[in-house]
Amino acid sequence: MRGRFPFHSGRVKIVILDAYTANPGDLDWAPLEALGQVQTHDRTPSGLIAERAADAEIVLTNKTVLDAESIGRLANLKYIGVLATGYNVVDLAAAGARGVPVTNIPAYSTPAVAQMVFAHVLNLTQHVASHAEAVRQGVWADCPDFCFWNAPLAELKGQTFGIIGLGQIGRETAALAKAFGMRVIAHNHRPPREQPDGIEMVGLDEAFAQSDVLSLHCPLTEKNLHLISAERLKQMKPSALLINTARGPLVDTEALARALHDGEIAGAGLDVMEIEPPPAGHPLYSAPNCHITPHIGWATQAARRRLIDIAANNVKAFITGNPTNVVNQDQLP
């Protein structure tokens, strides 16, 4: 894969199958437009992939699935870029068999996701949204005292913040927790190369049992599907809070709903769900003290700008024969 890639003629054609999520109109695609002829589609149903990307040499996708059949129908395909960190939407083996590298966008959303973690933590401890709504409804105006609160308010200083998955986002989140004066403990599937400053490494059982706030930052694998199970929830403190900004299937939805109804834990803040979007009547919609945001932790404008810039750098690196962030290296010839 070294050496300049032999594109057939003129500028390379780049098709973005689902451009709207990363750029609903508040950004531009200039970094990619400098590299080739860019064609964008807000969303692409599976039945239109072959038509829209028929003559594309470079295809970019966020959540549009490129399975073996779709890949096989794209005769000119030379490269697939995933506009996200997770790349399970692409059949890596099928792409590799065609000699097509697949790249992803690592680390672009680290500060944004860590910020979302604490948006949920602060909402669960200060109840900002519910208090603001109560004021809007006239509760404060009718209050006989100078203030009121409609739920217990908790200080974070001195509490234990547990992290499962000590990658870049986990470490960024740990730094914020330490800034609040919290004790930080973490569990990683393998020990870190260097002992992280101010973070105590603990076993998984200890992370569940000791955490006042438990935040998930691990990738989804076959081994940790439903890591947050009924059994694990029973290990947590009744006063504990669960935060998930990682992957929805890390949490057993039914088990969490039961745990919240039964008071086994005090609350949950979720930015990801097992099925997205979750259907009407989802059991967590009615679970007490469960706050769900629509998978927006990654979506600050600054993070999306970084995403586009890194995507362009990935494409440029491929065109010039020095591909980077390739996630199917082992499947390539």
State the pairing for strand pair 267-270/241-244.
parallel
- Kindly state whether residues 156 and 103 are assigned to the same domain: no
Please state whether the peptide bond connecting residue 196 to the residue before it is cis, i.e. omega within 30 degrees of 0.
no
Same domain, 140 and 258: yes
Give me the half-sphere count of Cα atoms (radius 13 Å) on the Cβ side of residue 213: 32
Residues 116 and 73 in one domain: no
Q: Does the residue 272 lie in any domain?
A: yes
Same domain, 187 and 212: yes
Does the annotation mark 2 as catalytic? no
Q: What is the pLDDT of residue 190?
A: 86
189 and 85 in a common domain: no
Out of 41, 226, 295, 305, the active site residue is 295
Helix then strand then coil, in percent of the chain rounded to 5, is 30, 15, 50
The pLDDT of residue 28 is 97
Position 193 scores a pLDDT of: 77
Give the pLDDT of residue 6: 54
Indicate if 81 and 94 belong to the same structural domain: yes
In this structure, are 81 and 144 located in the same domain? no
Domain of residue 196: give its range. 110-292
Say if residues 228 and 208 touch (Cβ distance below 8 Å): no
Note down pLDDT in tens along the chain; length 333 residues. 444 455 544 589 999 999 999 999 999 999 999 999 999 999 999 999 999 999 999 999 999 999 999 999 999 999 999 999 989 999 999 999 999 999 999 999 999 999 999 999 999 999 999 999 999 999 999 999 999 999 999 999 999 999 999 999 999 999 999 999 999 999 998 887 777 889 999 999 999 999 999 999 998 888 999 999 999 999 999 999 999 999 999 999 999 999 999 999 999 999 999 999 999 999 999 999 999 999 999 999 999 999 999 999 999 999 999 999 999 999 999
Residues 31 and 87 in one domain: yes
Specify if 218 maps to a domain: yes
Check whether residue 72 and residue 130 sit in a common domain: no
Q: What is the 3-state secondary structure (H, E, C) of the chain?
A: CCCCCCCCCCCEEEEECCCCCCCCCCCCCHHHHCCEEEEECCCCCHHHHHHHCCCCCEEEECCCCECHHHHHCCCCCCEEEECCCCCCCECHHHHHHCCCCEECCCCCCHHHHHHHHHHHHHHHHHCHHHHHHHHHCCCCCCCCCCCCCCCCCCCCCCCEEEEECCCHHHHHHHHHHHHCCCEEEEECCCCCCCCCCCEEECCHHHHHHHCCEEEECCCCCCCCCCCECHHHHHHCCCCCEEEECCCHHHECHHHHHHHHHCCCCCEEEECCCCCCCCCCCCCCCCCCCEEECCCCCCCCHHHHHHHHHHHHHHHHHHHCCCCCCECCHHHCC
In a shared domain, residues 140 and 94: no
276 tagged catalytic: yes
From the list 155, 231, 254, 276, the catalytic residue is 276
Instruction: Looking at the structure, tell me whether residues 165 and 73 fall in a common domain.
Output: no
How many domains does one find in the chain?
2
Say which CATH number the domain at 56 has.
3.40.50.720
User: Is 295 labeled as catalytic in the residue annotation?
Assistant: yes
Decide if 25 is inside a domain: yes
Q: Which of 120, 247, 291, 304 is catalytic?
A: 247
Q: Are residue 222 and residue 324 in the same domain, yes or no?
A: no
